[in-house]
Chain A
Amino acid sequence: MFTEIDTVTLDDVAAQHVVKSAVRGAKRFKGKPVNGPNKCCDSRKEWVDHVRRIRDAKDQIAFAELFQHFAPRIKAFLIKSGSDAALAEECAQEVMATLWHKAHLFDPTRATVATWVFTIARNKRIDVLRKQRRPEPEDLWWGPEAEPEQEDVLALQQETAQLRDAMAALPEAQRQLIEKAYFGDLSHREIASQTGLPLGTIKSRIRLALDRLRHAMN
């Protein structure tokens, strides 16, 4: 699974500081409707910079903004997956804590922040609700030195936005089935009929990103 490279260790005093300033950050942000339910903002590219700020500077303001946007969605997602509200809340907090700790492993040329958060939330669901281990493929990451190309990051964000539009345009029944699958309600046999998702472009984009990453790793 993930390989931890740098571990975050904070002593008590620092921890206090983190909590206070992060809460302050959240409050300060509340007044601005930047992260509102407005769709165009949801997949905004800036989330990538938020994760980068957490990775590089342990930026608590950035974290508070991400938390405000994603934590309620994770909670809603887990409730739809069969969790009760209290457990979903607890898990959402743990998912967000994982995001902080694994910020260095996020690859914006292969996933949006929402996609990455989804994978963490999904793994949490398997762990907590299904009480089962989740084998993950070998980690591939850019390492401390290499940094992906900005245009590749942008391209992936755009492909994902298009996928989202395409999903919104699907017939209601099909979209509901896909959601059902991702809430964990369909077995793989039932999923077998779920083709027709427009994934060709984004798949090629991710493949390209993997090739570049392999090249950078060698």
Chain B
Amino acid sequence: MRNEIKHHMTDDLLMAYAAGNLPEAFDLMVATHLSLCDHCRARSESFDAVGGCVLQEQDASASMSDGSLAATMALIAQGAPKAKPAHPTCAVLPAPLQDYVGGDVNAIKWKPVGMGVKQAILPTTSEATARLLFIPAGAAVPDHSHNGIELTMVLQGAFSDEIDRFARGDVEIADQSIHHTPTADISEDCICLAVTDAPLKFSKLMPRLFQPFLRI
């Protein structure tokens, strides 16, 4: 199941994730992919190792104040922060997404956007937008182009577009040069996580009417 993923994260996204420089919505996308993909998890953790080396090189003469160790021990004595509930690993939504949704797929608060397509915007900082998309089996998401980067990852079912076919765990990375019409496989409804750092531009179907609903 885990080794069937064909479409992975790019090095620059993984390095930015390790360095902690991504907008929250992109962090969520990367964390979700890493939960399903050990190939990228290993790549990501090797970028963490670079951070470890940077930390080791820091000048240790920026000394801590007197009593800082005692203060830390007092902090420890207050106990560990409350543990988050463990999520079942066989779920459709990997743990990081469940943290945002408050449960698995049946906890998603869908809003219809037309033609059977539904979406749920996830609460992240505004630099970028993360949304879950529901595409009914066999249906297409309207053709759209992008101002920025759009990452789409399949969580359930599969979709195909002009580029390739994408199944659970696969990430499609699209930039402004790409116009695409993702169409869900006929066999199963498709659920995706989509992240953009700019509003979508719809080029064909109901361009003006459709946009405000999908964007927010």
Residues of A in contact with B (beta carbons under 8 Å apart): 1-4, 7-10, 12, 14-15, 18-19, 22-23, 26, 37, 42-43, 60, 63-64, 67-77, 79-80, 85, 88-89, 92-94, 96-97, 100-102, 110-112, 114-119, 121-123, 125-126, 130, 132-139, 160, 163-164, 167, 178-179, 181-184, 186-189, 191-192, 194-195, 197, 199, 202-204, 206-207, 210-211, 214
- Chain A hits for B124, CB < 8 A: 133
Please state if B80 and A126 are interface contacts (CB–CB under 8 Å): no
CB distance from B60 to the nearest CB of A (A): 4
Please state if A167 and B80 are interface contacts (CB–CB under 8 Å): no
Decide yes or no: A137 and B21 within 8 Å by CB, A1-B84, A202-B46 being known contacts: no
Size of B's binding interface in residues, CB under 8 A:
74
Beyond A138-B35, A181-B16, 17 additional contacts (C-beta under 8 Å) are: A1-B84, A18-B73, A71-B72, A72-B64, A73-B60, A101-B80, A122-B51, A126-B20, A133-B24, A135-B28, A138-B95, A163-B53, A178-B54, A181-B21, A183-B54, A199-B46, A214-B2
Q: Can you report 18 A-B residue pairs in the complex whose CB atoms are below 8 A from each other?
A: A1-B96, A2-B83, A3-B86, A8-B76, A70-B55, A72-B60, A73-B58, A77-B58, A80-B58, A122-B18, A135-B99, A181-B19, A186-B16, A186-B21, A191-B16, A194-B12, A206-B45, A207-B39
- Chain A hits for B31, CB < 8 A: 135-137
Cα distance, A114 to B22, chains bound together (Å): 22
- Chain A hits for B100, CB < 8 A: 135
Cα distance, A125 to B21, chains bound together (Å): 10
Cα distance, A80 to B55, chains bound together (Å): 11
Residues of B in contact with A (beta carbons under 8 Å apart): 2, 10-13, 15-16, 18-22, 24, 26-28, 30-32, 34-35, 38-39, 41-65, 68-77, 79-84, 86-87, 89, 94-96, 99-100, 124-125
Partner of B51 from the list A18, A110, A136, A182 (CB cut-off 8 Å) is A182
- Chain A hits for B48, CB < 8 A: 111, 115, 118-119
Cα distance, A92 to B64, chains bound together (Å): 9
Partner of A111 from the list B52, B72, B76, B87 (CB cut-off 8 Å) is B52
- Chain B hits for A92, CB < 8 A: 64, 68
- Chain A hits for B42, CB < 8 A: 203-204, 206-207, 210
CB distance from A65 to the nearest CB of B (A): 10
- Chain B hits for A9, CB < 8 A: 79
Please state if A76 and B41 are interface contacts (CB–CB under 8 Å): no
- Chain A hits for B86, CB < 8 A: 3
Decide yes or no: A179 and B69 within 8 Å by CB, A94-B75, A137-B34 being known contacts: no
CB distance from B22 to the nearest CB of A (A): 6
Residue of A2, A8, A206 with highest tally of chain B CB at under 10 A: A206
Please state if A115 and B21 are interface contacts (CB–CB under 8 Å): no
